[in-house]
Amino acid sequence: MAVPTVIMEVENDGVAIITISNPPVNALALQIFEGLKQKFAEAMRRNDVKAIVLTGNGGKFSGGFDINVFEMIHKTGDLSILPDASVDLLVNVIEDAKKPTVAAIAGLALGGGLELALASHARIAVSRAQLGLPELSLGVIPGSGGTQRLPRLVGLPKAVEMMLSSRPIMSEEGKEVGLVDAIVPLEELLKVSKQWALDIAARRKPWIRSLHAMDKLGSLSEAHDIIKMARQQAKQTAKNMPQHLACLDVIEEGIIHGGYIGVLKEAKVFKELVASVTSKALVHNFFAQRATAKVPNVTDTGLKPRIAKKVAVIGGGLMGSGIATALILSNIYVVLKEINSEYLLKGIKTVEANIRDLLSRKRLAQDNADKALSMLKGVIDYSEFKDVDLVIEAVIEDVPLKQKIFSEIEKACPPHCILASNTSTIDLNIVGEKTRSQDRIVGAHFFSPAHVMPLLEIVRTEKTSPQAILDLMAVGKTIKKVPVVVGNCTGFAVNRTFFPYSQGAHILVNLGVDVFRIDRLITEFGLPLGPFQLQDLAGYGVAVATTKEFASYFPDRTFHSPLVELLMKNGRNGKNNGKGYYIYKKGSKPKPDPLVLPIVEESRMLTNIMPSGKSIIVTDQEIVEMILFPVVNEACRVLDEGIVIRASDLDVASVLGMSFPSYRGGIIFWADSIGADHVYQSLKKWSQVYGNFYKPSSFLEERALRGIPLSAPASSPSASRSRL
């Protein structure tokens, strides 16, 4: 592994080029701060140095502060390892120095990386470099002056937007808003930056210390209004995440009392937030997501992924058209197949509507939209399949139909082509039973809407080849999904883990708990929708079909609630017909419908599970736990059966596939933070009163009783102790 280093070369023109080197993204490891201090001190001392250019090795400026250090703090609680960079290095050594520094930015400058560039006296970037302050997505705020300097360079509205969204901008936009001074080709980056630095030194170009700039800040009352509005928004969109309001407080401090005071407050708040549970969970998420890219016996075999240039999608329904949209948006040529021209037209219209929607929400530029649509071709036979690299079947969940399609595509496609199914429940061995191509049959399970949801569950059977998995992972990355490789079982990792979620909610309702109270508590916990609103949205057909599927595989823990069927009998079909548990009207928010209450009563009469016919009394916390602990319990079975490679894969899958709040780290991380023992004891207690649905799994029981975290790998010393 390469050692993080900072090197300095002084050229005859009097410019010292200081280069950060820490592959792959030049993260600012603790040694880098030391190195920067030393090299800047040397550059200031040397008489042959007139100016400095700060840059990064390997075509990247810097991906920011080394997030491993946050992880170390979360493990040890030792905040003293944080470098005192924000004043010491960035203000005293760089910004207030007697020699100017120019940041030469290629590739990316994120977080602390961008903050180094902000403290420099000018920024020269290559085209399409990513510039951003994504710290809030890690549960902290920018901690090296970013909260103060960015508003002073780009104005308060843009700075607030960049920090609160954590989304980077391209250098082209950076140039428009004043973050970048010039955009140049990569070959000229150093040359132009050196000249710029010399020009500043000779006062031919302005020597700007951005912490002291005032012209972009606007009046105090304007700033007050902007921050007030941002606070209101953050309260709605970033509930339970302290870093958003903290960031606004720190920005405000600097506007009222000056940039330097702002920097001091920023450093203090940064330290507090680094140690927070939110940061711990979000940093866990960051590394957990990266870990999904490492699949034993697949990514470590030396195999190279083959690039899919042309993909066929079979089925133009909601899922198929969403998948086609995701592919064409990433410049992959798609043939969309339907059984007749009427259905095909419908499918293509859905893809067009998806693209229009992205356009209207400014997520896509017109020329990119046109380009994407030009990559789509509709077909009603297999003639275009002769040169496809991947087929994704996305028809209804019907075993004979899928088997027929797989027999057909085996003949129609070239031998290297991967044959994938988007089934969410059906065993892939059964899907591919009638073929001789089991080694290239794989699950490509997208989540609805497929062009928006970031998870791609890649399901392998014992026969799927490593090459097929690797190729599909590469497609997933290209279309900006996070691929998580899982094993084959009913519901695979995500739907299997979460099937008790709506079951638990239905048990509670039949025990007398109010439907809308449950939804409110689950959204307060952090999921975007409660289980009943989710059912309204997904459609009752899905609820009935999946419950049936799970009931046949897991009869010991399936609860038969007649509620959905009763709703349908009463002419309710969820959002589809505007009437479910909620009333849906165009242009207004869904409203709880009191007219469902008699239907709920009918369901309660039929199930007759309320003790002595009376509603149970439960606290808000118990309600959340009675819904989510059974999910943890099923997650334990998924771990026990080796359906996922590592526990953190389930965290990623729960966050990206089920919108489990990322600031709680994911389903297993959350359970471990509460303690396996509490989960176990609660489930045990409920199973004695309410039955088998709550019965703790043997995996949970063993870990709880032996005090081993659920996330500990089976082979780890702490977990293997359990078998002694």
Ligand X SMILES: C[C@H](O)CC(=O)SCCNC(=O)CCNC(=O)[C@H](O)C(C)(C)COP(=O)(O)OP(=O)(O)OC[C@H]1O[C@@H](n2cnc3c(N)ncnc32)[C@H](O)[C@@H]1OP(=O)(O)O
| Catalytically annotated residues | 115, 135
Q: Across the strands, what pairs with 8?
A: 18
Euclidean distance between the first and the last CA atom of the chain, given in angstroms as a whole number:
36
Where does this chain touch ligand X (CB under 6 A) — which range of 116-124, 138-146, 481-489, 525-533?
Answer: 138-146
143 is a site residue for ligand X (CB under 6 A):
yes
Minimum separation from the CB atom of position 87 to ligand X (A): 12
With CB atoms as reference, the residue minimizing the distance to ligand X is: 111
Piece of the chain touching ligand X by CB under 6 A; list 134-142, 660-668, 671-679, 701-709: 134-142
Q: What SS3 state is found at 121? A: coil
Residue with tokens 């190279």: 304
| Distance between CA atoms of residues 255 and 253, nearest Å | 5
Minimum distance, C-beta of residue 329 to ligand X, in the bound complex (Å): 17
Residues 569, 564: Cα–Cα separation, whole Å: 9
User: Which residue in the set 35, 56, 100, 112 belongs to the binding site for ligand X (CB under 6 A)?
Assistant: 112
* Interface with ligand X, residue 138, by CB under 6 A: yes
Q: Coil, strand, or helix at residue 722?
A: helix
Say how far apart CA 163 and CA 250 lie, in whole Å.
Answer: 12
134: its two tokens: 């994504």
Contacts to ligand X from residues 12-31, by CB under 6 A? 24-25, 27
To the nearest 10 degrees (0 to 180), the angle between helices 492-510 and 515-525 is: 140
For residue 509, how many C-alpha atoms fall within 13 Å in the half-sphere facing its CB?
30
Which of residues 65 and 501 has its CB atom nearest to ligand X in the complex? 65
- 66 touches ligand X by CB under 6 A: yes
Q: Which is nearer to ligand X, 152 or 496 (CB)?
A: 152
CA atoms within 13 A on the CB side of 488: 18
Q: How far is the CB of 500 from ligand X (least distance, A)?
A: 32
Region near ligand X per CB under 6 A, out of 141-149, 383-391, 585-593, 606-614: 141-149
Return the bridge partners of 457, or none: 445, 484
Beta strands in 440-537, from DSSP E residues, in sequence order? 441-446, 455-460, 482-487
* Site size for ligand X (CB under 6 A): 22
d(CA 139, CA 74): 12
- CB of 241 vs ligand X, minimal distance in Å: 15
Residue among 19, 57, 101, 144 that touches ligand X (CB under 6 A): 144
Torsion of CA 106, 108, 111, 112, to 10 degrees: -30
262-301 residues near ligand X, rule: CB under 6 A: 290
Judged by CB under 6 A, the residue of 6, 32, 52, 67 near ligand X is 67
Stretch near ligand X under the rule CB under 6 A, chosen from 130-138, 483-491, 598-606, 666-674: 130-138
- Shortest Cβ distance from residue 660 to ligand X (Å)? 21
Closest approach, Cβ 446 to ligand X, in A, equals: 20
Q: Which of 38, 68, 688, 716 binds ligand X (CB under 6 A)?
A: 68
| 189 binds ligand X per the rule CB under 6 A | no
Question: For ligand X, which residue of 4, 56, 139, 142 counts as binding (CB under 6 A)?
Answer: 142
Which residue of 35, 63, 254, 500 would you call a contact of ligand X, by CB under 6 A? 63
333-337 and 169-170 beta bridge pairing:
unpaired
Block residue for tokens 């030469």: 104
| Residue closer to ligand X (CB basis): 168 or 580 | 168
Nearest distance from residue 301's CB to ligand X, in Å? Answer: 17
Site for ligand X in 441-480 (CB under 6 A): none
Among 65, 447, 498, 559, binds ligand X (CB under 6 A): 65
Burial class of residue 575, CB neighbours in 10 A (0-12, 13-18, 19+) = middle
Phi, psi values for residue 140, rounded to 5°: -120, -175
Question: Residue 419 forms beta bridges with which residues?
Answer: 391, 441
- Asked if 83 interacts with ligand X (CB under 6 A), we say no
Bridge partners for 420 per DSSP:
392, 442
516, 536 contact by CB (below 8 A)? no
Closest CA to 305 of 470, 417, 418, 443: 470
Is the CB of residue 95 less than 8 Å from the CB of residue 119? yes
**577 CB burial (10 A radius; 0-12, 13-18, 19+):** exposed
| Integer Cα distance of 134 and 282 in angstroms | 12
Report the amino acid identity of residue 697.
Answer: S
Look up residue 477 and give its two tokens.
């990355």
Q: Extract the tokens encoding 642.
A: 């080796």
Closer residue to ligand X (CB): 169 or 314: 169
Min dist CB 474 to ligand X, Å, is: 13
Report in angstroms how near the CB of residue 64 gets to ligand X at its nearest: 3
Listed ranges 36-44, 107-115, 412-420, 695-703: which one lies at the site for ligand X (CB under 6 A): 107-115
The yes or no reply on residue 670 touching ligand X (CB under 6 A) is no
Q: Which of 35, 56, 64, 696 binds ligand X (CB under 6 A)?
A: 64
660 burial (CB, 10 Å; 0-12 / 13-18 / 19+) is buried
* Minimum CB distance to ligand X, residue 65 (Å): 3
The region of 105-113, 212-220, 443-451, 591-599 touching ligand X under the rule CB under 6 A is 105-113
Residue 457, both tokens: 């569950």
From 95, 115, 625, 649, residue interacting with ligand X (rule: CB under 6 A): 115
Q: Among 4, 134, 512, 531, which residue interacts with ligand X (rule: CB under 6 A)?
A: 134
Verify binding: residue 135, ligand X, rule CB under 6 A: yes
Stretch that binds ligand X, among 111-119, 309-317, 434-442, 680-688 (CB under 6 A): 111-119
In the complex, the residues that contact ligand X under the rule CB under 6 A are: 24-25, 27, 63-68, 108, 110-112, 115, 134-135, 138, 142-144, 146, 290
